[in-house]
């Protein structure tokens, strides 16, 4: 995808350094941040400088490559690699793509016949994971575009566009593909409190693609559904259980229930790496709870053009802040994957 006419991926690696788009600054500033060590990368994942299932996975894969490149020669090599893998695992507990990428790169390093071969295998595997993620997003776009009619009105939640992947995205990929096919598409963009990834990121992406859209308060989706102004819902996923239950950004469950009540198709778009076939159902998915300040404060551009943080609640207030919720499979019309569109009871194997 392009920013001011220049093509970008969300995250990439140059030598030993990972480079990524600094997402908390969007839409007010576009900046690339450099991460020279795996500990820097782990911190960037944890603090959501990079976020979104696919982008987290790619960053974790590159982070594992950094671990292998940093590890000392000699008997301490594998101990360092295993410790680095655990550091990366501890960053975000819900995102399946993160664990998938770590294990892929770790396995490639462990199976290599020498330290030099392990370093090469780790870098090559991390790059392959990133390329697979970008290709998966494009394939999801092709399959999902067929679900969007000309003039279709799509509701999204959170950001599952190219910023959430290496490229293309999941939930927004069908929108981008439909628009490039010449279809007229309108997108209702849930603001997605508390971090407002819809208002900040999805709307910025859609503006760059020239796709008509409107940001709506999270509580307004049901209103527009009941009025018949939404034709379908497409969301992403952070983890999909074997039975088709889905963990996605907090508020997704509410949108699915409202869609079911109003007879509106509800689709989940995701690559195969997001499916956790070892997880039996949604109750087994760990749900990350983040710091309360994300709810108690808001961050943005003030009227003077300065980036600033303001407190929303009284000074003694406390908050609960689950980052994700579980949408049961019974509310999901289908999964849009690189292999096609599948009902919840027929999830494809990798």
Instruction: Give dist(CA 223, CA 221) in Å, integer.
Output: 5
Catalytic residue among 238, 245, 276, 325: 238
3-state secondary structure of 127: helix
Two tokens, residue 117: 């071969």
User: For all residues of the chain together, what is the average pLDDT?
Assistant: 97
Q: How much is the pLDDT for 350?
A: 76
Residues 155, 254, single domain; the answer is yes
Residues 167, 224, single domain; the answer is yes
pLDDT band at 310 (very low <50, low <70, confident <90, very high): very high
- pLDDT of 3 > 90? The answer is yes
Residues 231, 257, single domain; the answer is yes
Closest CA to 228 of 334, 146, 153, 151: 153
- pLDDT of 287 > 90? The answer is yes
Active site residue 238: yes
Q: How much is the pLDDT for 55?
A: 97
Two tokens, residue 271: 């690559």
Two tokens, residue 61: 């894969």
CB atoms within 10 A of CB 163: 27
Closest CA to 285 of 277, 293, 295: 277
Mean pLDDT of the 7-29 span: 97
Give me the percent of the chain exceeding a pLDDT of 90. Answer: 98
Closest CA to 136 of 195, 29, 54: 54
Question: How far is C-alpha 71 from the geometric centre of its chain's CA atoms?
Answer: 29
CATH of the domain at 202: 3.40.50.10470
pLDDT band at 233 (very low <50, low <70, confident <90, very high): very high
Residues 324, 178, single domain; the answer is yes
- pLDDT of 349 > 90? The answer is no
Residues 199, 285, single domain; the answer is yes
Residues 172, 282, single domain; the answer is yes
Residues 112, 222, single domain; the answer is no
pLDDT band at 70 (very low <50, low <70, confident <90, very high): very high
Burial status of residue 244 (CB atoms within 10 A of its CB: 0-12, 13-18, 19 or more)? buried
Residues 200, 297, single domain; the answer is yes
Number of domains in the chain: 2
Residues 20, 53, single domain; the answer is yes
Q: How much is the pLDDT for 298?
A: 94
Domain final residue pick, 106, 138, 170 = 138
Cis? peptide before 194, omega within 30° of 0: yes
Instruction: Give dist(CA 28, CA 49) in Å, integer.
Output: 14
Closest CA to 241 of 339, 328, 156: 328
Q: How much is the pLDDT for 321?
A: 98
Are the beta carbons of 18 and 64 closer than 8 angstroms? no
Closest CA to 20 of 39, 40, 4: 40
CATH of the domain at 124: 1.20.120.420
Q: 238 is in which domain, residue-wise?
A: 146-346
Residues 161, 34, single domain; the answer is no
Domain final residue pick, 122, 138, 154 = 138
Instruction: Give dist(CA 200, CA 63) in Å, integer.
Output: 26
Domain final residue pick, 138, 170, 202 = 138
pLDDT band at 341 (very low <50, low <70, confident <90, very high): very high
Mean pLDDT of the 284-304 span: 95
Question: How far is C-alpha 327 from the geometric centre of its chain's CA atoms?
Answer: 16
Region at 298 (left for phi over 0; alpha for psi -120 to 50; beta for the rest) = beta
3-state secondary structure of 243: coil
Residues 128, 227, single domain; the answer is no
Instruction: Give dist(CA 146, CA 178) in Å, integer.
Output: 8
Residues 70, 177, single domain; the answer is no
pLDDT band at 169 (very low <50, low <70, confident <90, very high): very high
């Amino acid at each position: 995808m392009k920013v001011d006419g220049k093509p970008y991926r969300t995250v990439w690696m140059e030598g030993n350094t990972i480079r990524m788009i600094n997402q908390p600054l969007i839409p007010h500033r576009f900046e690339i941040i450099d991460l020279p060590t795996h500990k820097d990368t782990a911190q960037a994942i944890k603090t959501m400088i990079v976020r979104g299932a696919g982008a987290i996975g790619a960053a974790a894969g590159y982070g594992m490559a950094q671990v292998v490149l940093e590890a000392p020669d000699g008997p301490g090599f594998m101990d360092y690699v295993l410790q680095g893998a655990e550091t990366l695992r501890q960053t975000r507990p819900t995102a399946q793509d993160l664990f998938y990428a770590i294990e892929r790169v770790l396995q490639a390093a462990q199976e290599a016949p020498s330290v030099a071969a392990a370093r090469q295998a780790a870098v090559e595997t991390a790059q392959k994971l990133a390329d697979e993620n970008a290709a998966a997003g494009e394939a999801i776009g092709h399959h999902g575009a067929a679900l969007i009619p000309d003039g279709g009105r799509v509701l999204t939640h959170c950001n599952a566009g190219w910023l959430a992947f290496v490229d293309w995205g999941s939930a927004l990929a069908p929108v981008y593909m439909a628009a490039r096919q010449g279809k007229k598409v309108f997108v209702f963009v849930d603001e997605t409190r508390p971090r407002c990834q819809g208002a900040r990121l999805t709307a910025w992406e859609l503006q760059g693609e020239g796709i008509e859209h409107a940001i709506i308060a999270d509580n307004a989706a049901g209103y527009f559904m009941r009025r018949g102004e939404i034709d379908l819902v497409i969301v992403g996923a952070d983890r999909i259980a074997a039975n088709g239950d889905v963990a996605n950004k907090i508020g997704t469950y509410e949108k699915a229930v409202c869609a079911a009540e109003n007879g509106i198709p509800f689709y989940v778009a995701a690559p195969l790496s997001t499916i956790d076939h070892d997880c039996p159902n949604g109750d087994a998915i760990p749900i990350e709870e983040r710091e309360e300040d994300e709810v108690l404060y808001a961050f943005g551009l003030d009227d003077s053009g300065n980036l600033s943080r303001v407190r929303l609640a009284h000074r003694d207030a406390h908050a609960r802040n689950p980052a994700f919720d579980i949408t049961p499979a019974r509310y999901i019309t289908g999964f849009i994957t690189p292999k096609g569109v599948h009902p919840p009871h027929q999830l494809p194997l990798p």
